Structure 1
Amino acid sequence: MSITQRGDELHFDENLFIVSKTDLQGRITYANDLFIQISGYQEKELIGAPHNILRHPDMPKAIFKILWERVQAGNEVFAYVKNRTKSNQYYWVHAYITPIIDTKTKQLIGYHSVRRAPSAKGIEVIAPLYKKMLDAEARGGIQASRTLLDNTLSQLKVSYDAFILSYE
């Protein structure tokens, strides 16, 4: 697989995809080979573990609140996410997360995520925004972070989805 390292940051080939599935509580039920390799965990360490095992402290909680609200409501969501590996390295992804619906019962049974390498332009824009959101969270909690994001999107006159997808 094509994973390169620059300092503590890992990069993967733009033609490859990180894939995982979780149950309704966010516990990993499937991880593809690239996910296993880049995370630094063994498959047996990942399966059954909460997906937030990869949560990097540079990620605003408000972004994960948006993700969970959307997928729990049965909607897809896109996001830029900075993940932390087992050895405390990191890697950015452009994530696409969808609910998994049982075709027979029409019930939500889990979540599916496909992540690809993010664009450099996307990271240039997203990383400073996430830093501002973290600062807002430190001062006023998740709602302050969400308000900062909403105000930013309002000033740009774009929806969250349009903003994220504009940096593909």
Structure 2
Amino acid sequence: MTTTVATGRERRAPVRPTGQERTFSADELIVSKTDPRGLITYANDVFLRVGAFERHEVIGQPHNIIRHPDMPKAVFKLLWDTVSSGRELFAYVNNLAADGANYWVLAHITPSLDRSGRIVGYHSNRRKPSAEGVRAASALYDRLLAEERRHSGGKAAVQASSALLAQVLAERGVSYEEFVWSIVPEEV
């Protein structure tokens, strides 16, 4: 699967995952901000370096330009349902860099509110996840992706993988965020 990366008004060729994994140091944070529609309004230097982007390539572009095709749509549906309702969410996310490398993050996404409590954008801080957390998230995400593939994409695939996610979490007796925190090492 490929992702197309836009650069200003021009579009780059589709980005194909290379299988090369990139990382960043534990003392760095990847930070980005978007408007209410998810268009990037700010990206810090770590975001640009790890994502292999130039600033002009991301500002004004949809945040999903870093969406890796191996991320379950159910997780993004949960993420957007949560933050668009005014709540924060922590999530393990596998991102796609402009050069095809991937990088895992432990993301903390929050809505940005104006004085009246109206959502005016979103803010995301991402830190380096633990290897154990990535393994646990990957195992769950592989199941969700298999469910999506069985339903040939589209709305049915998202509904099916969302139902499977809800079932898995119910069997464990946890919410998604409790699942995330259960796989974060204690030293974090």
TM-score strictly above 0.5: yes
Runs of 4 or more consecutive aligned structure 1 residues displaced over 3 Å after TM superposition: none
Find the counterpart in structure 1 of residue 98 from structure 2. Answer: 86
Q: Which amino acid aligns with 2:113?
A: I
Find the counterpart in structure 2 of residue 165 from structure 1. Answer: 181
1:123 CA drift (Å):
0.8
Q: 1:118 aligns with which of 129, 149, 158?
A: 129
Equivalent-residue separation in structure 1 for 2:167 and 2:113 (angstroms): 33
1:115 CA drift (Å):
0.3
Q: Which amino acid aligns with 2:142?
A: K
Equivalent-residue separation in structure 1 for 2:87 and 2:77 (angstroms): 14
Q: 2:74 aligns with which of 54, 62, 65?
A: 62
Equivalent-residue separation in structure 1 for 2:179 and 2:30 (angstroms): 22
> How many residues are treated as equivalent by the alignment?
161
Structure 1 unaligned spans of 5+ = 1-6
2:100 match: secondary structure: coil
RMSD of Structure 2 on Structure 1 (CA): 1.0
Find the counterpart in structure 1 of residue 10 from structure 2. Answer: none
Equivalent-residue separation in structure 2 for 1:43 and 1:28 (angstroms): 10
Report the more deviating stretch, 27-36 or 148-157: 148-157
Q: Which amino acid aligns with 2:144?
A: M
1:106 CA drift (Å):
2.5
Structure 2 unaligned spans of 5+ = 1-18, 152-156
Equivalent-residue separation in structure 2 for 1:92 and 1:126 (angstroms): 10
1:77 has 2:92 as partner: no
Equivalent-residue separation in structure 2 for 1:146 and 1:9 (angstroms): 27
TM score, norm. by length of structure 1: 0.93
TM score, norm. by length of structure 2: 0.83
1:17 has 2:29 as partner: yes
